[in-house]
Chains A and B, each alone.
Chain A
Amino acid sequence: MSTDLVVSDLVAGYGDAQVLHGVSFTVREGEVCAILGPNGAGKTTLLRALSGMVKARGTITLGGAALTGRPPDAVARLGVAHVPEGRGTFMPLTVEENLRLGAYVRRGPSVEEDLERVHQYFPVLKKRLKQAAGSLSGGEQQMLALGRALMLRPRLLLLDEPSLGLAPLVTRELFRIVRTINEEERTTVVVVEQNAHLALGIAQQAHVLETGRIVLSGTAAQIQADEQVAQSYLGYRV
């Protein structure tokens, strides 16, 4: 399996405040990579740098194509779908309009196919197509955000705290779907998550970020077994 996403020496921040101080890692094609770490470690900034929302130095390549320095819309066109923290739902628009917006970079009959595909993953959305997205529950909105990202036909899916504000059962269902998507579509996934246990459950690789640097990397199993990580981030003792 070839290497898909290569991040090296990534430096990013907001104005004078530098958040990431040289982050490097790779993700192989079709794999899920979990980014763990405490609040303020730079997890969200890392995803934003990947999708072009914050300016970054260093290099990011996806399947050999350079992403660094491109504006967000150009990065999206290269197949990077970012599900932002807080979901980025277009509240007044209907569920269907939200989904169609996800396929904004493409036109033609393939959009209808993808709608059908998203309906299969998320039957609940199909029932609510004509409903305003703002009237959905938190869990449904997160599913909408994920479905919308799928409409892009992404080769790289960036998920920022998908569990935020959701009931444990809903979260588990969501991660199950992410895993299915990853397995069926061979989409590479980078997931940032506070709920480390769930994230490690679907990931092959994991990195622990602390104050803008990667302090620990390994397979999901290794990270899960690491006592220090368990104590610091997983919220339970082994």
Chain B
Amino acid sequence: MSTTKVQAKPVAVERRRRFDRRWAGLALLLAAAIYAPFQLVPFHVFQLTMVLVYAVALLGLNLLVGHAGQISLGHGAFFAVGAYAAAVLMDRWALPYPLTLPLAAAVAFVLGLALGVPAMRLRGLYLALVTLAIAIFLVPLLKRFEELTGGSMGLTLAKPQPPAWSGLAEDQWLYFLTLAIAVASFLLAASLLRSRVGRALHAVRDNETAAEVMGVRLSFYKTLAFAWSAMFAGAAGCVYTWVIGFVSPDSFTVNLSITLLAGLVVGGLGSLSGPVLGGLFVMFVPSISQDVNDAAPGVIFGLLIIAVMYVAPTGLAGLAGRLIKKIPRKE
């Protein structure tokens, strides 16, 4: 008994130190993220922007899959809905671009709420199948309503221009917009997960029955998890439209949904850094392997997923955590 008392204090100190180090790490990362666009060529700035876009989408998917324990093979559909909502609003109604973000997120949220209803009754493979169906029928749907969506040709839009006071180039401005949205999204998700709501989500994931007898309404949280995840995907889709300046149905095939899920699992389910690592994976692995051989991306993508699952079953985030622990510390 007395030994545990003696140990108690150093443990608390150690915990605080780890906490401080974590904040220091985050601050350093943010500083690097702000510094980067001034050092890189525009194409690389664009690539980093896309990493952030995917990270926001994966953040949403992580809420659903990693934290609420549901599954979605249709996340790309919500991404597409956000992208198209922004594109149509800007193209048909000439809405200023900043307004399209909340609207696209709201549209995706409502759609997520509606499509979350099957999640109340289905689980596992059945839920995967229903969400997959959503991803499949979206593409023909987008092509069908040509007058609104531009059909197979898609819609081309003017990219948001940097205001004169900023003194930034177009790619840098888009990068900083995306960075701000990504940081805001991460703060929102982190505070959500630390709250009573976050605990309820985890409870639903870990033990539905026990959660229910404690007063957690399963149907409410499952639907809400879908809606939130769709909201983040919608926001990411909207930013995608700003950054690319073009949407077409073929950018949002089933492949996108599967790539997103794969990216999240590789990045690390249920961890906060998982979406960023997953975003890097989704962005860079296909484009780097393209340089090796035209036919290589699919093969390399697949092999890497298998390799990561063998080496790091908890994803890259888990692997990074283990490596950091191995670094000897100077006290």
Closest Cβ of chain B to A131, distance in Å, is: 10
Interface membership of A53, Cβ < 8 A: yes
A/B interface sample: 28 pairs, CB < 8 A? A53-B209, A53-B212, A71-B212, A71-B217, A72-B212, A73-B215, A73-B216, A73-B218, A75-B213, A76-B213, A76-B214, A77-B215, A81-B213, A88-B207, A89-B210, A90-B206, A91-B206, A92-B206, A93-B199, A93-B206, A101-B203, A101-B211, A101-B214, A102-B214, A104-B199, A104-B214, A105-B215, A127-B4
A227 CB to nearest B CB, Å:
37
Chain B: residues with CB nearer than 8 A to chain A? 4, 8, 15, 196, 199-200, 202-203, 206-207, 209-218
Do residues A90 and B203 form an inter-chain contact, with CB atoms below 8 A?
A: yes
CB distance from A206 to the nearest CB of B (A): 24
User: Which chain B residue shows the least CB distance to A100?
Assistant: B199
User: Chain B nearest CB: distance from A104 CB in Å?
Assistant: 5
Known A-B contacts A72-B213, A88-B213, A104-B216; A97 and B15 likewise in contact (beta carbons under 8 Å): no
Given A76-B213, A88-B213, A107-B196 contact (CB < 8 Å): yes
Chain A residues whose CB sits within 8 angstroms of the CB of B216 once the complex forms:
73, 101, 104
Whole-angstrom CA separation of A210 from B213 in the bound complex: 26
By a CB distance below 8 angstroms, the chain B residues around A192 are none
Q: Give complex CA distance A175, B278 in Å.
A: 49
What are the residues of chain B within 8 A of A105 when measuring CB–CB? Answer: 214-215
Shortest Cβ distance from B125 into chain A, in angstroms? 22
**Residue of chain A at shortest CB distance from B12:** A130
Interface residues of A in 49-85 (CB under 8 A from B): 51, 53, 71-73, 75-77, 81-82, 84
A75 to B213, CA, bound (A): 8
Q: For the complex of A and B, list the 4 residue pairs with the smallest distance between their C-beta atoms, beginning with the closest.
A: A88-B210, A76-B215, A105-B215, A82-B213
- A152 in contact with B209 (CB, 8 Å): no
Contacts of B199 in A (CB 8 A): 93, 97, 100-101, 104
Q: Within the assembled complex, what's the spacing in Å between the Cα atoms of A102 and B196?
A: 11
Q: B30 to chain A: closest CB distance in Å?
A: 27
The answer to the question of A213 belonging to the interface, with a C-beta cut-off of 8 Å to chain B, is no
A83 to B211, CA, bound (A): 11
B7 CB → nearest A CB, Å: 10
- B200 to A104, Cβ gap below 8 A? yes
Report A-chain residues with C-beta under 8 Å of the C-beta of B212.
Answer: 53, 71-73, 76
What separation, in Å, do the CA atoms of A92 and B205 have in the docked complex?
10
Does any Cβ of B come within 8 Å of A43's Cβ?
no
Say yes or no for A155: interface residue by CB 8 A criterion. Answer: no
Cα–Cα, bound, A94→B307 (Å): 31
Roughly how many angstroms separate A90 CA and B4 CA in the complex, as a whole number? Answer: 25
Q: For residue A75, which residues in chain B have a CB less than 8 angstroms away from its CB?
A: 213
Q: A73-B217, A130-B15 are in contact. Are A90 and B200 (CB under 8 A)?
A: no
Chain B residues contacting A102 (CB-CB under 8 Å) are 214
Whether the pair A84, B209 counts as a contact (CB closer than 8 A) is: yes
Alpha-carbon distance between A84 and B210 when the two chains are bound, in angstroms: 7
A101 and B200 contact, CB distance less than 8 A: yes
- Minimum CB–CB distance from B69 to chain A (whole Å) comes to 11
B8 → A minimal CB distance (Å): 8
B residues less than 8 Å from A84 (CB atoms): 209-210, 213
Interface size classification for chain A: 20 to 34
Residues in chain A near residue B210, CB distance under 8 A: 84, 88-90
Q: How far is the CA of A197 from the CA of B212 in the complex (A)?
A: 31
| Least CB distance, A47 to chain B, in whole angstroms | 10
Do residues B215 and A90 form an inter-chain contact, with CB atoms below 8 A?
no
Min C-beta distance of B218 to chain A, whole Å: 8
Interface status of A148 (Cβ within 8 A of chain B): yes
A90 & B202 in contact (Cβ 8 Å cutoff) = yes
* Residues of A contacting B211 in the complex (Cβ-Cβ under 8 angstroms): 101
Instruction: Give the complex CA separation of A143 and B144 in angstroms.
Output: 60
Which of A90, A92, A152 lies at the interface centre, i.e. has the most chain B CB atoms within 10 A of its CB?
A90
Are A90 and B213 interface neighbours, CB within 8 A? no
A51 to chain B, nearest CB (A): 5
Q: How far is the CA of A73 from the CA of B210 in the complex (A)?
A: 10
In the complex, what residue of chain A is closest to B5 when comparing beta carbons?
Answer: A127
How far is it, in angstroms, between the C-alpha of A84 and the C-alpha of B215 when the chains are bound?
14
* Complex contacts, A101 vs chain B, CB 8 Å: 199-200, 203, 211, 214, 216
Determine whether the beta carbon of B209 is less than 8 Å from that of A104: no
Closest residue of B by beta carbon distance from A151:
B214
When distances are taken between beta carbons in the complex, the residues of chain A under 8 Å from B215 are 72-73, 76-77, 104-105, 152
B68 to chain A, nearest CB (A): 13
Judging by beta carbons under 8 Å apart, are B202 and A93 in contact? yes
- The residue in chain A whose Cβ has the minimal distance to the Cβ of B194 is A97
- Give bound CA distance, A148 to B210, whole Å: 11
Q: Given the complex, which residues of B lie within 8 Å of A73, measured CB to CB? A: 212, 215-218
Contact partners of B203 in chain A: CB under 8 A: 90, 93, 101, 104
Contact of A88 among B4, B8, B209 (CB under 8 A): B209
* Inter-chain pairs besides A51-B213, A88-B213, A93-B206, 17 sampled, C-beta below 8 Å: A73-B217, A82-B213, A84-B209, A84-B210, A84-B213, A89-B207, A90-B206, A90-B210, A93-B203, A97-B199, A101-B199, A101-B200, A101-B211, A101-B214, A104-B199, A104-B215, A152-B214
